[in-house]
Amino acid sequence: MVTRSRRELIGDAVRTAVLLVLGVGTLPFLPLWGDQTRPVDGWAYALVTLTALAAGVRARPIGSFAATVLLTSLYLWLGYPYGPMLVCLAVATYTLARQVRLRPALLTGTIALPLLLSHLLAKGPVDGVLALIPGAAWLVVPFSIGVTRRLTVEAAQRQRADAERRVLNDERVRLASEVHDIVGHGLAAIQMQADIARHVRTRKPEQADIALAAISRTSAEALAELRTTLATIAPDGITRSDALAPVPGMRRLGDLCARMRESGIEVDLSISGQRRTLAPAVDLAAYRVIQEALTNVAKHASDRSAAVRVGYGTEELTIEVVNAAASNRDLQEGFGIAGMRRRVHDVDGSITIDPSQQQFRVAVSLPA
């Protein structure tokens, strides 16, 4: 059973009161004309009152409309004068078209129309047919307005739902890309350090201890960064006692390169131009692009080295990551490369990924 809100109940009460005042209040002043020959009496007041009460209920639009049509038809068949009580019929018709799906609403209105207009046919074939047009207007016009309003509201609701769905999907993609970059980079570094520890554990146990310490440090950093990312979607679940990682950005580029060097990747970092604060979205995109490019070197390249060039221009930030290993296969773009492209395009930048026979090159230009 649907529970109605207080606002809806108040709205129904106000609408019913207005219809009562309009219908009952004007009854004594309605003149008799045409075939309406019965003067206003107690039955007229009762019918108008019941019609207003029926039309004021929106919770059951079909029942409200049916009761309003029956009472209005009885009122007109008894020969009472036309008047504002027909507004009750228009209100009930609008409510029917506005709240009920088109097919059942149209069927209900089609059944009610002959009943409502049946009193007009008593005038004769000529006068009765001519009177059908203005008589039918009391149903057709509010029905059309109600259907139009319903379709407009439903279209707006679909647009809002589509917009919310797009925002949710974009946020899911953004979060998935963040998690991929954090976890993928951390696991790649951990795997390389674990391989080092496995190969030197008997011959150079002290080197294995260094690799294990790097694994511990890398995993802790990745876990803290992952927790920071997840805090953006569940801030209430993160307490002040939780250790959160610093926000990723170009200021942490040195730490990123140092971590990759510990993992066995020779990183040649070169920065030109005057360093300055970037927009947060650009700062994060630049860092993540370099991180993903270096992670790909760790996971896929035969030459364990990369050259990273960062240039701070007056209007743009340029990034180039080059791995000198030859590419003997076609580029298969996975989630990481797709994430790089998305990040760059989201900040109105440009990206070029060039897997040639001599090197693998990632070049990016971002607005600074």
Structure confidence by residue, pLDDT tens digits, 286-313? 888 898 888 888 777 777 788 999 999 8
**79: alpha, beta or left? (left if phi > 0; alpha if psi -120 to 50):** left
Please give the torsion angle defined by the CA atoms of residues 22, 80, 136 and 106, in that order, rounded to the nearest 10 degrees.
Answer: 70
Token pair in block for residue 283: 């700062």
For the chain, what percent of residues have pLDDT higher than 90? 11
Residues 172-209 pLDDT 10s? 777 777 777 776 666 767 767 677 777 777 777 776 76
Residues 53-71 pLDDT 10s? 988 888 888 988 999 989 9
For the chain, what percent of residues have pLDDT higher than 70? 79
DSSP state of 82: P
Residue 148: predicted pLDDT: 92
pLDDT surpassing 90 at residue 226: no
CB atoms within 10 A of CB 299: 14
To the question of pTM greater than 0.85 for the whole model, the response is no
Instruction: Provide mean pLDDT across the span 116-130.
Output: 61
Residue 358: predicted pLDDT: 72
Rounded Cα distance between 231 and 338, Å, is: 24
Residue 126: predicted pLDDT: 43
Token pair in block for residue 89: 């019929």
Domain ranges of the chain: 6-123, 256-368
More confident residue, 73 or 330: 73
Residue 244: predicted pLDDT: 55
More confident residue, 242 or 42: 42
The identity of residue 325, as a single letter, is A
Residue 240: predicted pLDDT: 43
Arch. (CATH architecture) of 256-368: 2-Layer Sandwich (3.30)
Residues 250-295 pLDDT 10s? 888 888 888 888 777 888 999 998 888 888 888 888 888 898 888 8
Mean pLDDT of the chain: 79
DSSP state of 264: T
